[in-house]
């Protein structure tokens, strides 16, 4: 039997003109929502915010996962705690020196703590606190913009994380983020991340309507992998 495919749409790439329609439909089909928060410094772009999460919650009962691409995680973590964002995922590159404190702060609020590894950052960078993490996100593209080149070598980190988890009985989920689409479904699914972040090329830009886009995505997954999507 095929395993359940945990999909987390990246709302940065959705059509905001169809916000209500898209969230309402996806709420019945996905496991969580992925919200990119950028400060214009860590990456040269600005995107969503804690306020956007609050607006999405008016239409959805699914967990929200904030992906922080920011230079000052401390500032943003407290804002996300204030709105009880279920997963708060910090940039490993800017968390050195505060990782233990921030993870403890998130856990004390009853929320889940994660880190995100950009392509150049090895898994070894988070080994001092990996046992405390609830999620590790592997970027398979350069962060900050949709449509970046897929970096297939980054999938090796997913295999490494799975081996570490199995060996040490860690509890984190493994998420991949970047260029999840029909060109890459086969190689991505072969390493079996727990969560697939999917955006413009794999979902939102497939057709003009979210329902037909969703079922096209499902068909592309099944064609590429030979497995039934469920």
Could you give the angle at the alpha carbon of 102 between the alpha carbons of 134 and 61, nearest 5°? 50
User: Per the structure block, which two tokens stand in for 10?
Assistant: 């990246």
SS3 175: strand
Choice among 36, 166, 169, 194 that is catalytic: 36
DSSP annotation of 148: P
Pick the closest to residue 83 from 64, 70, 103 (CA basis): 64
Choice among 28, 72, 131, 177 that is catalytic: 177
User: Per the structure block, which two tokens stand in for 146?
Assistant: 């949709």
DSSP annotation of 40: S
Polymer length in residues for the chain: 230
Cβ-contact 138, 157 below 8 angstroms: yes
SS3 12: helix
Cβ-contact 33, 9 below 8 angstroms: yes
- For 216, the enclosing helix (H) or strand (E) is helix 210-225
In angstroms, what CA-CA distances link 204 with 93, 110, 140, 180?
A: 29, 32, 19, 12
> Does residue 131 carry a catalytic annotation?
no
> Does residue 134 carry a catalytic annotation?
no
Could you give the residue numbers annotated as active site?
36, 177
């Amino acid at each position: 039997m095929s395993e359940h495919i945990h999909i987390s749409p990246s709302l940065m790439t959705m059509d905001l003109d169809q916000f209500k329609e898209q969230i309402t439909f996806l709420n019945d089909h996905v496991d969580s929502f992925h919200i990119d928060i950028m400060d214009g410094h860590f990456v040269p772009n600005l995107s969503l915010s804690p306020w956007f999460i609050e607006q999405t919650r008016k239409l959805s009962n699914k967990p929200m996962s904030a992906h922080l691409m920011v230079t000052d995680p401390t500032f943003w973590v407290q804002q996300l705690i204030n709105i009880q964002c279920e997963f708060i995922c910090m940039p490993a590159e800017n968390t050195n020196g505060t990782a233990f404190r921030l993870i403890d702060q998130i856990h004390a609020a009853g929320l889940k703590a994660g880190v995100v590894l950009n392509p150049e950052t090895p898994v070894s960078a988070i080994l001092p606190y990996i046992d405390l993490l609830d999620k590790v996100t592997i970027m398979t593209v350069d962060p900050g913009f949709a449509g970046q080149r897929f970096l297939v070598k980054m999938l090796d980190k997913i295999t490494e994380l799975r081996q570490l988890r199995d060996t040490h009985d860690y509890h984190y989920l493994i998420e991949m983020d970047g260029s999840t689409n029909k060109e890459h479904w086969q190689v991505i699914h072969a390493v079996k991340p727990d969560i697939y972040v999917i955006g413009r090329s794999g979902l939102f830009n497939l057709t003009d309507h979210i329902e037909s886009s969703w079922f096209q995505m499902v068909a592309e997954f099944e064609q590429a992998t030979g497995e039934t999507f469920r």
